[in-house]
Structure 1
Amino acid sequence: MDEPSNPHSTSGENPEPSLPVAAEEEAEVNNPGENLPVLKWSRSSFETLMRDIQMPPEYGAIYPQEGDTAGDAPTRYVTMFADFFGVCNLRLPLTVFVAEVLEWYKLHISQHSSFGMIGVRNIEYTFRALGIEPIVGDFRRFYQLSVSMGFYSFRQRDHTLKLMVPPKGMMKLKTKFFYVKAAAITTKLQFRNVTEPIVTENISVPKADTVDWFPDLRIIGWVKWDNRQLWVLQMMLGRMSRNARPVVREKSGGKCLFPCTRLLTFLFLLLSFVNVLSEDAPLWRMFCPDFKGEVAILACADGEEGFNRTIRDNFRVPDQGSLEVVLPQGKWDPGALGDPAATGVPKQPVQKIGVKRFRKQKKPHELVVVPPLVP
């Protein structure tokens, strides 16, 4: 497999020859049948989403026409699903990590299932919160590529630590979509043929003796973040002032140990008010059940570089000139997007050659001891 420009593939390992993997029967509610489902969400909902996620106007996000499907994007536009930006915590521009995952697996972003995107972004914010650089090689330690009903996802590899449980009740995933300029998606956009065999990931599972970051790993489940939280996690370029920076602030102050006279109570409340959000906290504190703070926006000190400039290299920022090109009229070639007849390698041939199927099985496996969330 050709490597992307910066794949961060795992070094020092010699994986065994890869074998085909059976297609995953993904627990996805939507079944498009013979065709992709028709658009079914309102223009007002689309406009609200664009405001909420602070979609850059130069990316040319447009609402589809009545009767459109996800395969009807105009020429040089890309279909994006609303759930990418809701439950999946995705923002544009793409981070380098997301772009390199797409490049490694040779996936077009519109072929991506929302369930798969949740796993990608969960790995990213888990590692960012713990101060670990997210790379494709480590993502592959946890997840195996799969395909179902013409869309790609990732399933948990056997014997790996389960980092999250995806949310339930994600309905009509393929009916809520919109289009953005292809120039805004700064990866090599190519459709993967869903009949192409999927190979197993044979690299070692993450353990204390296989990766140096494992002692720092905490289980951080799926969480839906707002723009400030994604900004401080370096997963979004903020639209704030260039001279601003985000910081996690946690409440401080203790309980009053004196008799509750009116004067002492007043003084205690006054001191507590002064101490509220006065302590800076590490990013992982946001994931703790007892966290009562927030992400505050502070002005940069004299000579201090703004946060957007500091984290810019974590993103694939589109070229402004490419975004300004006048695009022709017409529809794109949707390739195999959502083709229900192409669901991966046929099941019977895979079973005959004895290939291990990646399904949940009740069998013993090695237990992994993970450090607690709060050290």
Structure 2
Amino acid sequence: MLSLVVLCCVPTAFAKNTRFLNFFPLYRNYLIEIRDGPCAAEFALKQAGAEVCRSLFNCMLDNTSEAIKGDMGSGIVALGLTPTILTFLGSGTAETSLLARRRPLLALLIASGSPAVNPLPTFVYPNPIEELKSRDNHLAIMHFSPIQAALVSIVEYILVMAAIANVYTAAFYTGSWTINTISCGDVWYPTFWAVSTLFIHIFGSWCLALRVNTPEKNKAVGTWGGKGVWRWIRYEIMPCITHDKMELIWKPEGYLFIVISWWTSLLTVVHLLWGTIALSSIQFIGYVDSIQIIARFMASAVICRAILMFELAGMRNALTKESTREEYSLVRVAPATLPSNHNV
């Protein structure tokens, strides 16, 4: 399903010579007049297949007014700050990994639809048990009938798919309707930044798998036969508030966990740096167009974050019985497996 979304939202135009053919709406007509006027000779060579990207780019810049250059510069600064701003709106890998324990497909789509990851300190991985503890004085999620739960799940999938389409198309046009000042011939920088969040969340799920065990009866993806398939389908199509209790058996840290956790933290920093470079190294986009692109990225991040928080709240409140020290809503820690210095 995710592959189909990518194929639909990221056109095969990456393989074509799309540079200078179109621009963002605010200065589109102005830039096309320059391209087809003072820079017509360079554009004709470019269309004929010659490598004159730099020459055409410099020609268009030389013929652009200083006022418009200033407006474009403001838009580029705003875009360059976008990856950092989005980290405050995005979800952490630990949160997505918890959802993946019950609804792996939804977690995968949420990871794809949010263009930023909340960074973690090196060698620090959040305790998943803390995320699922019952919280006093927090608004409790209502319980749904089967029909209501199915409708809620459908709405969730529609929203997250729309968020994915929104992010990928925004990233694609950000690359193809502008010029990359670092590598004039490349248009894929912003799209790679948007897509690569998925791989960070996959490493985050690996971290959680190295830290906890889930009994077979609790797994969303377990034995693919008989009850295993139906259990996965039931969990995937219904909100977590309707699920059975999930049991997480805490495991002590191992060397592989430390390495993967460190690698995940490093990837979040690299992703942030790449996004800053990709979005601050483009030209020919006005301030208004930049704000619209930023708003689209923020909208997708907020939608995915809201759905994830709704599901995690459902996991916390799915059980009505009283929780004890070792047994929380949806989480039970096997005391024998707890490290001696672990405080529940």
What interval of TM-score do these two structures reach, taking the shorter chain for normalisation? under 0.3
Larger relative helix fraction: 2
TM-score normalised by length of structure 1: 0.23
TM-score normalised by length of structure 2: 0.25
Larger relative strand fraction: 1
